[in-house]
Chain A
Amino acid sequence: MDEHVRQQYPRYRNHFLPRTRAGAVATVLFMLVFACAQPPIVFLVANRIEPLVFGLPFLYMYLLALYVALIAILIWAQRRGV
Chain B
Amino acid sequence: MEPWVIATGLIFAYLLVTIVLGIVANRRLAVDLEDFLLYGRRAGFIVLYLTVVATYHSAFAFLGSGGFFYTHGIGFWDAGTWTVLVGAITYVLGSRIWALGKAFDYITPADMLADFYESEAVRVLVAIVSVVFTILYIQVQAQGLGYIINVASDGRISFELGTLILLVVAAAYLMAGGLRAVYWTDVVQGVWMYIAVWVGALVVAFKVFGGPIELWTAVREQRPDLLSLPGPEGFFTPGMWFGLMVVLSFGIVFQPHMMIRYYTAASAKTIKWLGATTPIFLMTLFIPAALVGLGGAVALPDLDIPDRVFPELLFRYAPAWLTGVILAGATAAAMSTLDSILHSNMTVLTRDVYQRYIAKEASTRHYILVGRLIIGALLVVGYVLSVRTFEFLVVLVALSGAGALQLMPGIVGICFPTRFLFTRSGIIAGIAVGLVTLYLTLVVAPHPLGLHGGVWSVLANFVAVGGVSAFTKPPSVATVARIHGTVERFVYGETS
Contacts and interface: CB of A to CB of B under 8 A. Distances in A.
A32 interface: no
Interface in A44-76: 47-49, 54-57, 59-60, 63-64, 66-67, 70-71, 74-75
Contact of B276 (A49, A64, A75): A75
Contacts of A11: 419
Given A9-B421, A15-B418, A38 B241 contact: yes
Most chain A beta-carbon neighbours within 10 Å: one of B242, B275, B276, B488: B276
B480 A19 contact: no
A42 B228 CA distance: 11
- Which secondary structure dominates where chain B touches chain A? helix
A11 to B, nearest CB: 7
A30 B279 CA distance: 14
B421 A74 contact: no
Given A12-B488, A16-B416, A40-B238, A55 B87 contact: no
B74 A77 contact: no
A47 B80 CA distance: 16
Contacts of B159: none
Most chain B beta-carbon neighbours within 10 Å: one of A1, A13, A40, A54: A1
A38 B81 contact: yes
A20 to B, nearest CB: 9
A59 B484 contact: no
B315 interface: no
A57 B91 CA distance: 31
A64 to B, nearest CB: 7
Nearest to B283: A67
Interface stretch (B175-183, B212-220, B369-377, B460-468): B212-220
B81 A71 contact: no
Interface residues of A, number: 39
Nearest to A14: B418
B387 interface: no
B272 interface: yes
Contacts of B213: 54-56
A59 B227 contact: yes
B319 interface: no
A6 B84 CA distance: 38
B417 A70 contact: no
B81 A19 contact: no
Nearest to A10: B481
B242 A60 contact: no
A63 B276 contact: no
Nearest to B279: A71
A8 to B, nearest CB: 5
Interface in B81-133: 81, 84-85, 87-88, 91
A9 B84 contact: no
Contacts of B239: 39
B399 interface: no
Interface of B: 74, 77, 80-81, 84-85, 87-88, 91, 213, 216-217, 220, 224, 227-229, 238-239, 241-242, 245, 272-273, 275-277, 279-280, 283, 287, 290, 415-419, 421, 474, 477, 480-481, 484-485, 487-488, 491-492, 496
Interface of A: 1, 6, 8-16, 19, 30, 34, 37-40, 42-43, 47-49, 54-57, 59-60, 63-64, 66-67, 70-71, 74-75, 77-78
29 contacts: A9-B419, A9-B477, A9-B480, A9-B481, A10-B481, A10-B484, A14-B418, A34-B84, A34-B85, A37-B81, A38-B81, A38-B242, A40-B238, A43-B241, A48-B228, A49-B220, A49-B224, A54-B213, A55-B217, A60-B227, A64-B80, A64-B287, A71-B276, A71-B279, A74-B88, A74-B277, A74-B279, A77-B91, A78-B273
